[in-house]
Structure 1
Amino acid sequence: MTDQNPDTMEVDRPKPEVDVDQSNQLKAEANELFKLEKYPDAIDLYSKAIDFNPTNAVLYANRSISHLKVESFGYALADANKAIECDKNYLKAYYRRAAAHMALGKYKMALKDYEIVYKLIPANKDAKTKFTLIPANKDAKTKFTECKKIVQTIAFHKAIAIEEKVKAVADEIDIDGITVEDSYDGPRLQEGKVTVEFMTQLLEHFKAQKKLHRKFALKILYDIKQYFQAQSSLVDIKVGDGKKFTICGDIHGQYYDLMNIFSLNGQPSEENPYLFNGDFVDRGSFSVECIFALFGFKLLYPDHFFMSRGNHESENMNKMYGFEGEVKAKYSSQMVDFFTEVYNWLPLAHCINNKILVMHGGLFSKDGVTLDDIRKTERNRQPPEEGIMCELLWSDPQGMQGRSASKRGVGCQFGPDVTERFLENNGLDYIVRSHEVKENGYELMHDGKCITVFSAPNYCDTMGNKGAFITLKGGDLRPEFTSYVHVPHPNVKPMAYANSLLSLFG
């Protein structure tokens, strides 16, 4: 997910003469918008303030954190670098750059910036200096220490992987040997299988904020991994003439809004098939409930319920944005590793009736990619920083022709001409993707040939957006859009399980 205005930093506007007073006025207005969590609007005003005073490091740092808020990590990194270029002693800019590096999974580079802040920030700040604008020395040390632990942990796991073949979690667990306590009053698998009765009970069990027993949770993960391992990276879906099919976008741990989708559009069944297009978890604090509900329906209706991998079905994202912390709180570290194994086997894209390609992110940094290239893509891994898999999970459309560097720092941005050539070369009618908040939950770009659908309304309890889903029928495959508002959820805030390093975004 990221902001609703992807071309903010790409706009070519006439540069006014330096006017510090005008710049400061725009900065003050932008600061107020930031406080109101209107980040795209704040970005626009910070950009105008920069035009009037292009050497002010504070403006770039403020725009950087605004980009961090909307997950435009590439832009956030560029602004932090510019702030440091303007004033190499402005330590707050190093905080911003560290946060951008963390968000991009570049932990060693983040550690270098935290070290700069930790070692250079004065222990006793002069109230008249700019150092009053940054966290205290104690906080700087904490961030440095936490980031260092992450770097050391990653290095340790890599060393182990080199020295010995690490066994899969699925091969180490004796599920049959796990005892279900008499006090457990939740749903139970029938002879180890998901049934309609199990799913009905599970959804209500989760609504009541109760936990699925570890034995059944592990069995679902074991079975779903076996299923996904047998699938192609590109799954073909056939929808019969006149038959209904539904596509949903990002859910992001908003379980009660997921239940609202089923209330509005009917629960999944063989007559009511669904495709959920990635980012099932993170941010929202009911991600465990979401993923087990979705995996349960996949096992119950394997040929009528589909799931694509999103950029948040990855180790780095889960470590930062809450899913890892939530799984540890509700289950265990071992189950975190099991989820990672499962996510590595999620399909990367789906093709409906040979006419609609559905992926989480978007298209590619070069022409000539075919559906067969996607089918052949090796996916049993963490998302790489470039190539077909990366771009399927991370890319975004843009209004202008051609391609440009990604606002996220990963993937690319692609224009209507890129979409047109890809569709023509592969005999497709249009593409559907998710990955971005939209005011009404959906957006049509590129002459209607690139459709975005986002299904998490009032994202993170702050954005005020609607959610949406797409319904179509086999035959004409014409998309119909249903928008909806958020529903109440228990008093557990989004990001409740997120990594403490994300406090830098505040």
Structure 2
Amino acid sequence: MTSMDDPADSSHEKAEEFKLLANEAFKAHKFSQAIELYSQAIELNPQSAVYWANRALAHTKLEEYGSAIQDATKAIEVDPRYSKGYYRRGAAYLAMGKFKDALKDFQQLKKICPNDPDATKKLKECEKAVLKLRFEEAIGVHESERQSVADSIDFHTIEVEPQYTGARIEGEVVSLEFVKKMMDDFKNQKCLHKRYACQIVLQAREMLRAMPSLVDITVSNGHQFTVCGDVHGQFYDLLNIFELNGLPSEENPYLFNGDFVDRGSFSLEVILTLFAFKCMSPSAIYLSRGNHESKSMNKIYGFEGEVKSKLSEIFVELFAEVFCCLPLAHVLNEKVFVVHGGLFSVDGVKLSDIRAIDRFCEPPEEGLMCELLWSDPQPHPGRGPSKRGVGLSFGEDVTKRFLQENNLDLVVRSHEVKDEGYEIEHGGRLITVFSAPNYCDQMGNKGAFIRFKAPDMKPDIVSFSAVPHPDVKPMAYASNFLRMFS
């Protein structure tokens, strides 16, 4: 029998074809498609470490770090000398902020490729990150003993130099005139004075701190209410949302559903604009916490670096404190449940359980608060592990039960890039909305927002495309080692 007739050979050839198609899809930034094609290659030939490692990279591009780690681990099992397996897994651990796990992989990589300058460089960066982390842990104060930065700052004492020509807050009140001038300055890449930045953040903190963990919103008959998803530091796209749908006001209220910052390099402009509208008119804008409103994410994905660069170190702490005051979820007219991530690993969670969460902390690694911020829907029923490595995946049955038990009609969530800016799933009971078009300047997706009009509160979804922005790349302020991988 010739080798041509060997079924193993022909399936390996077919697998190679799938791999080449997958590589093409990957190059075109069609990462979900690439994953499907790599999966077909793996089915035909699970003994190729390359296929597993390539699929791991595609998962990384979709921020599915949990799946990336699983695939890279599989590549290493298939071929313990395959350097890219350690490389991909180390990169995914870094992206999750698991520096110590990443360090082990880069040490292994260095053993396999002792003369590779790239491996050496990445190991050094990783060692630096772990040392810094150990140092911070050593000098760190326990949450309960830490003094509040916000309580120690009086913005009145910050001098405004006579040559400052930017937006100014007269007295204590943030006016619409001020917000418009500030947005215009931001549009022209001018900074807001530290005094006013401080005033906005402190006033926003007071308002957010007084709110419950689950906020009930009433939309009166004939009025509309707009829900936006992740904006991720894409300030020029935020301005475009306001162009398309009007500025936030009591007559035109908005809810921004988390992930205001990180990745996009105009995160400070975004968060100061949203906070300023909150100060101007508390019922014009509602803000929900996302998984990126946290210290560990901000350290890696750019917000911390951006705040240090545009304001100062003390503001990093100040924002971290205010992010801990953000509510976790909202209910519109007792019908629509809006949350950044998704639902829970246990049945029977009531709205009263969410109201009872003590949210004034960094997001924990498990439990209700973690799941609200991190979970994702899945197409099949039941529950499964999260592709992200945090939270979980939940099916249509979970959504249906949660809505029935709480007498609700719809779940609206964000947290995931969608080609059209939104996706309707779970038999129409769940909508994902994402408001950062052409995410990270490379995904080619549209953004969307949802308008609800009382009394029927049916979702009216508007998609929009990205607008140009100044030539500052996404992740420009991200941590060194993460930039090395992007």
Q: Determine the structure 2 residue equivalent to 1:38.
A: 30
Does 1:228 find its partner at 2:208?
yes
Q: 1:18, CA displacement in angstroms?
A: 7.0
Matches within 5 A, 1:130-169: 137-162=116-141, 165-169=145-149
Name the CA shift for 1:146/1:381 in 2 (closer, same or farther; >3 Å). Answer: farther
Q: Does 1:257 align with 2:237?
A: yes
Amino acid at match of 2:380: M
Partner in structure 1 of residue 274 of structure 2: 294
Are the counterparts in 1 of residues 230 and 435 from structure 2 also a CA contact under 8 Å? yes
Residue in structure 2 matched with residue 485 of structure 1 by the alignment? 465
Q: Pick the aligned partner of 1:201 from 176, 181, 194.
A: 181
Distance 1:152 1:360 in 2: 33
Secondary structure of 1:483's match? strand
Query: Pick from 81, 103, 111: which aligns with 2:103?
Result: 111
Q: Does 1:458 align with 2:450?
A: no
Q: Aligned residue for 2:375?
A: 395
- In structure 1, the residue matched to 2:49 is 57
What is the SS of the residue equivalent to 1:443?
A: strand
Distance in 1, matches of 2:337 and 2:27, equals 39
Cα deviation code 1:307-330 (max 9, x no counterpart):
001111112221222211211221
Mapped to 1, the partners of 2:278 and 2:397 lie a distance apart of 36
Give the aligned partner of residue 4 of structure 2.
none
The Cα shift of 1:99 comes to 1.3
SS of 2:427's equivalent in the other structure is coil
Normalised TM-score (structure 2): 0.95
Q: Given that residues 277 and 284 in structure 2 are in contact (C-alpha distance below 8 angstroms), is that contact kept between their aligned partners in structure 1?
A: no
Change (3 A) 1:386 1:299: same
Indicate yes or no: 2:432 matched with 1:440: no
Tell me how far apart the structure 1 counterparts of residues 291 and 250 of structure 2 sit (CA, whole Å).
28
**Structure 2 portions without partners, runs of 5+:** 1-6
The residue type equivalent to 2:322 in the other structure is: V
Match of 1:385 in 2: 365
Q: Which residue of 2 aligns with 1:470?
A: 450
- Does structure 1 residue 500 correspond to structure 2 residue 474? no
SS of match in other structure, 1:239:
coil
Distance 2:296 2:44 in 1: 38
Aligned to 2:295: 315
Name the amino acid aligned to 1:67. H
Residue 302 of structure 1: SS of its match in structure 2? coil
1:24 maps onto 2:16 in alignment = yes
Q: Which amino acid aligns with 2:326?
A: L
CA distance, structure 1, for counterparts of residue 484 and residue 16 of structure 2: 24
SS at match of 2:196: helix
Residue 142 (structure 1) shift: 2.9
Quote how far apart the aligned CAs of 1:145 are: 2.7
Partner Cα distance (1:379, 1:102) in 2: 26
Aligned AA (2:73): N
SS at match of 1:19: helix
Query: CA contact under 8 A between 2:73 and 2:89: conserved in structure 1?
Result: yes
Q: How far apart are residue 61 of structure 1 and its match?
A: 0.7
**Aligned-partner residue type, residue 350 of structure 1:** H
Runs (4 or more) in structure 1 with deviation over 6 Å come to 15-18
Q: Do the aligned residues in 1 keep the contact of 2:64 with 2:387 (CA within 8 Å)? A: yes
Q: Match for 1:142: what amino acid?
A: K
Give the 3-state SS of the residue equivalent to 2:145 in structure 1: coil
Assess, with a 3 A threshold, how the Cα gap between structure 1 residues 236 and 441 changes in structure 2: closer, same or farther. Answer: same
| TM-score, normalised by the number of residues in structure 1 | 0.91
1:376 aligned to 350, 353, 356, which one?
356
Out of 87, 110, 133, which is 2:79 matched to?
A: 87
Contact 1:469 1:481 in 2 (8 A): yes
**Cα gap change, 1:193/1:138 in structure 2, threshold over 3 Å: closer, same or farther?**
farther
User: Which one-letter code corresponds to 1:140 in the other structure?
Assistant: A
Please tell me whether the aligned partners of residues 263 and 474 of structure 2 are also in contact (alpha carbons under 8 angstroms).
yes
SS of structure 1 residue aligned to 2:411: strand
**1:162 deviation in Å?**
4.5
Question: CA offsets, 1:373-403, max 9 Å, x none?
Answer: 1111121222122111111111111111111
Q: Distance in 2 between matches of 1:417 and 1:16?
A: 41
Aligned-pair identity (%)? 55
Shift of 1:359: 0.2
Give a deviation string over 1:233-285, Cα, whole Å, max 9, x none: 11111111111111111111111111111111110111110000011111111
